[in-house]
């Protein structure tokens, strides 16, 4: 199992200067290496309907640039630009490897036939980071002992170890990155054991979850979690700070101060949202053995008028987090096709047409429940076919059910240990 733990660093002002210089030099080198690759590509290709006069290469065509040629060029880079001698060699290789994987993701489709976008040049304001590929190994560039991280060519940096590194895990990599409020280190931790997933015949509880804009999610038991709307709540403050920023002289000292304020606000909103996602995910995983969710087309939904709300709830990020938490805790998740889940009746299966504005599902069979609850029940039905779950599926259609929506308090689940 692979985990990433992130800790804040407490570097001295001199170390901050070194870290920033490394980031900037590696950024330039990345851009140079990318331009080398793009140049080779442009010179050896011609659009099919163009005259060769238009796209005839001028001069000698350079050799194909790949990771190996670029890595062997590092020696020459250090001769031409002596500043690169002060950077730990493995970090420079990792920088090129990162480019290499971006490049391959762009040109070579993966199993599903999807490709990434064209690698972009990194701007000066882009977040810079660099990786030490080995930690605590002989000849490694980074050593962590206690709360001191010893980095080759940088020195000893204090790490704020707000939680211990879990037992049984080996530190594989250390990535140093800068954020709006300081420098951080992310350790990739590896444990050779694979967490065993729950066998299918041992599933005792299952639920379907329906995500929405009105309520963050509704489970098949009718419990729901409210949308926290972190971005909407922060919008007024953000707007004020951003208009302050617009009044400053560009790139002046005060402008930079204000820009950092705005960046930290955004960071705060992102962290609040992530924390909330983890709390909900742990609550679900602790309460149920199997969680059935809908495979949504979030990219498509985010192009509509509801974009801001949809991106603010960030279901996609949540579903990813939930799946990761479930794997870690040995529970199961299942994505199902969401088509028709809000239309069909969970009691009798009849179609009950309704628009988005209709929030209550009321069927001729006597079932009157919240619309999201009905979808959650449908999802559960769809995903739990053939599973030995005692109580699942539709509600008893003979008795009309009163809607009971309990807003779950998540505070208690925050510190629930997950074994
Ligand atoms: Zn019905």
Task: Give the Å distance between the CA of 373 and the centre of ligand 1.
Answer: 13
Ligand 1 centre from 194 Cα, in Å? 44
206 φ, ψ to 5°? -140, 155
Longest dimension (CA), the chain: 83
Ligand 1 centre and the CA of 287: distance in Å? Answer: 28
Q: What is the pLDDT of residues 82-122, one digit of tens each?
A: 999 999 999 999 999 999 999 999 999 988 888 999 999 99
Residues 90 and 214 in one domain: no
Query: 266 C-alpha vs ligand 1 centroid, how far in Å?
Result: 45
Cα(362) to centroid of ligand 1, in Å?
8
216 and 269 inside one domain: yes
Query: Is 125 found in the same domain as 98?
Result: yes
Contact present, 334 and 292 (Cβ < 8 Å): yes
Measured in whole angstroms, the distance separating CA 245 from the mean position of its chain's CA atoms is: 28
Question: Residue ranges of the alpha helices (H) in 192-329?
Answer: 230-247, 253-287, 298-301, 307-313, 315-329
Assigned domain for 195 exists? no
Last residue of a domain, one of 148, 167, 190: 190
H/E run at residue 177: strand 170-179
Instruction: Enter the pTM of the model.
Output: 0.81
- Lowest mean pLDDT of 1-5, 198-202, 237-241, name the range: 198-202
What separation in Å is there between the alpha carbon of 345 and the centre of ligand 1?
5
Instruction: Pick the last residue of a domain from 190, 209, 239.
Output: 190
- Going by pLDDT thresholds of 50, 70 and 90, the confidence category of residue 349 is confident
Residue with the bigger pLDDT between 387 and 331: it is 331
Q: From ligand 1's centre to the CA of 347, what distance in Å?
A: 5
Lowest mean pLDDT among 30-34, 259-263, 411-415: 411-415
Are residue 216 and residue 186 in the same domain, yes or no?
Answer: no
CA of 394 to the centre of ligand 1 (A): 10
Domain that holds residue 405: 200-416
Q: Tell me how far the alpha carbon of residue 400 lies from the centroid of ligand 1, in angstroms.
A: 10
Residue 361 pairs with which residues in a beta bridge?
A: 369
Q: How far is the CA of 395 from the centre of ligand 1 (A)?
A: 10
Q: Return d(Cα 303, Cα 164) in angstroms, integer.
A: 42
- Over residues 346-369, mean pLDDT: 85
């Amino acid at each position: 199992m692979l985990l990433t733990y992130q800790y804040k660093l407490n570097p001295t002002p001199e170390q901050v200067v070194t870290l920033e210089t490394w980031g900037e030099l590696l950024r330039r080198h990345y851009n140079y290496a990318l331009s080398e690759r793009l140049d080779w590509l442009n010179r050896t290709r011609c659009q099919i309907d163009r005259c060769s006069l238009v796209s005839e290469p001028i001069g000698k065509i350079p050799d194909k640039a790949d990771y190996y040629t670029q890595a062997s060029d590092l020696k020459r880079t250090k001769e031409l630009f002596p500043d690169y001698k002060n950077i730990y060699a493995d970090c420079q290789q990792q920088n090129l490897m990162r480019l290499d994987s971006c490049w391959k993701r762009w040109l070579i489709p993966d199993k599903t036939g999807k490709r990434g976008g064209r690698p972009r040049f990194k701007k000066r304001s882009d977040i810079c980071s660099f990786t030490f590929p080995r930690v605590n190994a002989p000849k490694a560039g980074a050593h962590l002992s206690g709360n001191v991280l010893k980095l080759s060519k940088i020195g000893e940096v204090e790490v704020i170890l707000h939680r211990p590194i879990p037992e049984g895990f080996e530190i594989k990599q250390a990535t140093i990155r800068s954020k709006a409020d300081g420098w951080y280190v992310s350790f990739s931790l590896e444990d050779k054991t694979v967490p065993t997933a729950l066998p299918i015949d041992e599933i005792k509880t299952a639920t379907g979850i329906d995500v929405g804009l009105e309520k963050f999610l509704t489970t098949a038991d009718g419990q729901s979690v409210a949308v926290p709307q972190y971005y909407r709540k922060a919008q007024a403050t953000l707007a004020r700070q951003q208009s302050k920023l617009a009044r400053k002289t560009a790139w002046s000292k005060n402008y930079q101060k204000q820009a950092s304020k705005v960046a930290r606000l955004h960071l705060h909103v992102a962290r609040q949202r992530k924390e909330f996602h983890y709390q909900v995910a742990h609550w679900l995983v602790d309460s149920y053995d199997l969680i059935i969710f809908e495979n949504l087309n979030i990219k498509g939904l985010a192009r509509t008028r509801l974009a801001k709300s949809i991106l603010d709830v960030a279901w996609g990020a949540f579903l990813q987090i939930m799946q990761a938490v479930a794997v870690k805790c040995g529970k199961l998740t299942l994505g199902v096709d969401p088509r028709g889940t809000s239309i069909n009746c969970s009691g009798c299966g009849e179609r009950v047409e309704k628009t988005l504005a209709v929030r209550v599902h009321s069927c001729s069979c006597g079932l009157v429940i919240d619309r999201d609850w009905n979808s959650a029940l449908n999802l559960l039905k769809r995903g739990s076919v053939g599973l030995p779950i005692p109580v699942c599926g539709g509600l008893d259609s003979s008795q009309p059910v009163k809607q009971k929506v309990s807003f779950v308090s998540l505070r208690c689940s925050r510190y629930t240990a997950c074994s």
